[in-house]
Structure 1
């Protein structure tokens, strides 16, 4: 093929490539990658048949530009990932701090209701936890192993099951916010009452401290993420009602965006909580000090990253 034919056949495509490269903010990484493959094919052909021509020089320069753009996109992706955890998520958490407080209050009041109801009605625990669980646990208490339930499944099977269940509960707490904050409130309320009933059940059997230092090994993270997911759900619900100066559509989009960021932020905690419940909680014979180190470390992380750090990041951002 003569060089002029090769040039005329492909010049419109190359010009399009140049225009695409100039639109750096809108360039799709996959499009850029496909572009690079096509350009290297053209460059290889030009080098073979027109090694000394200006066309080869031009294609070589254009290919280098595309290569640099790909490398730049990779760096941007890495920076965006780091920025999400360091700045973006903390600022979102600061923005929904009131909703986080509301979720915490709803949950704690629900726990109190569960405790009071269990204390006033002996059958309440059974109606919440189920006869099978209560009877099994009473039997385990008689065998001097009240937490034997955590030893019944294989570690990996339990880890996967618990992690999936935690994700499901937290996702529901968020998604049900579409029915206003009452949908999310129901999830927080039901889980809070369950925890309250569960706690009082062991208080009745003089096992509060013994079971607390075992259950909260995973519970510190598990309960925390449910409350945080509840805050995301309340944010979603509020965006439908309290639109301010925004249209309902835009307000809802903002609520969804914030909620998804929060759910994405707590996703790794689901995995850690599931791992602790599947592989660590079952070791009821572990030293008491080690149990409390895990529990206090978990609460310290939650309080720092989800409550203190957002305030720090916000003030740092406003000063800049």
Structure 2
């Protein structure tokens, strides 16, 4: 067989395998291993019949990368947890970034609805938060400490209770994705309408700034994490609605696996938010502005970078070694 015919015959197979290897776009390791064997056979054939061909360099590099993916060393296994947050989650977030964007759009819409509703209906906030909570907050505002409600209970007790509550909200946002994402959107609707109306309430009472420098000490990470968790639910719902070339069940399993990983990745941020709410927010009234704003900007920057910026950096780093970018394009072999 002529070399040109050999390349033409196998080109699509190699490119497909390359995408799977470099983008982690494979579900069954056994299937990847089987394709790897075919690749090795092609490499052996090329070495035999085209010993001076550049296609050997291409297949060699692709085979080496595939080998690392399939046959992981013990050292890699011990670093599995580290790699999960360093590489796997960022790549997932890059691949499913549109779902994260949609979740943020819904966040802004629902929060705005909460603001508008509270501005046009004085009883709206009470219908959501309850008379007791609202009356207590009004008393705190009149006493000169709008954030006093966050100072109730012990530090550790508040931290544990808040963290458990946040984990439940996140789990619900994800699990409810099985309703085709409808109840996931409802969870977002409830929480973010509450947020918008609550913030407007403080604005109306002329303590908006005090509420911002208090609530958002923990809220920056907490709210952001809820949005990320909701995006996991949307991914799960979409896997059922749009199975693509997979069977609906296979697509669902893939969506569930992906969503669980995103959910797990958000929990450290949720715990951090719970810690801040239990140990730091309660002191916001005596905290200098520079410190409270510094905490808010720092926490928001960390979680924003991890989910919105870092995935692009990891994706770029992963794709750079591809042979197609190393001046040996397959099209020119």
Q: What TM-score, normalized by structure 2, do the two folds share?
A: 0.73
SS in 2 for 1:282: helix
Distance 1:78 1:263 in 2: 22
Distance 1:202 1:224 in 2: 21
SS in 1 for 2:283: coil
Is structure 2 residue 93 aligned with structure 1 residue 100? no
Deviations 1:68-91 (A, max 9, x none): xxxx64x33322122111111100
Deviations 1:165-203 (A, max 9, x none): 000001100000000111110011111100011000001
Aligned counterpart, 2:295: 294
Deviations 1:5-24 (A, max 9, x none): xxxxxxxxxxxxxxxxxxxx
Distance 1:140 1:81 in 2: 44
Aligned counterpart, 1:239: 239
SS in 1 for 2:282: coil
Matched length: 250
8 Å CA contact 2:146–2:210 kept in 1: the answer is no
Aligned counterpart, 1:253: 253
Distance 1:155 1:266 in 2: 22
5+ residue gaps in structure 1?
Answer: 1-24, 27-71
Distance 1:128 1:172 in 2: 19
Instruction: Please report how far the alpha carbon of residue 220 of structure 1 lies from its aligned counterpart in structure 2 after TM superposition.
Output: 0.3
SS in 2 for 1:122: coil
Distance 2:305 2:250 in 1: 31
8 Å CA contact 2:269–2:303 kept in 1: the answer is no
Distance 1:78 1:216 in 2: 37
SS in 2 for 1:283: helix
Extract structure 1 runs of 4+ deviating beyond 4 A: none
RMSD: 1.3
Aligned counterpart, 1:310: 311
Aligned counterpart, 2:135: 135
SS in 1 for 2:100: helix
Deviations 1:32-61 (A, max 9, x none): xxxxxxxxxxxxxxxxxxxxxxxxxxxxxx
Q: If you compute each CA radius of gyration, which structure gives the higher value, 1 or 2?
A: 1
Distance 1:156 1:135 in 2: 26
5+ residue gaps in structure 2?
Answer: 1-28, 31-72, 322-333
Is structure 2 residue 181 aligned with structure 1 residue 181? yes
Deviations 1:226-256 (A, max 9, x none): 0000000000000000111110011011101
SS in 2 for 1:246: coil
Aligned counterpart, 2:66: none
Instruction: Please report how far the alpha carbon of residue 142 of structure 1 lies from its aligned counterpart in structure 2 after TM superposition.
Output: 1.1
Distance 2:239 2:293 in 1: 39
Is structure 2 residue 256 aligned with structure 1 residue 281? no
Aligned counterpart, 1:123: 123
Greater alpha carbon shift after TM alignment, 235-244 vs 258-267: 258-267
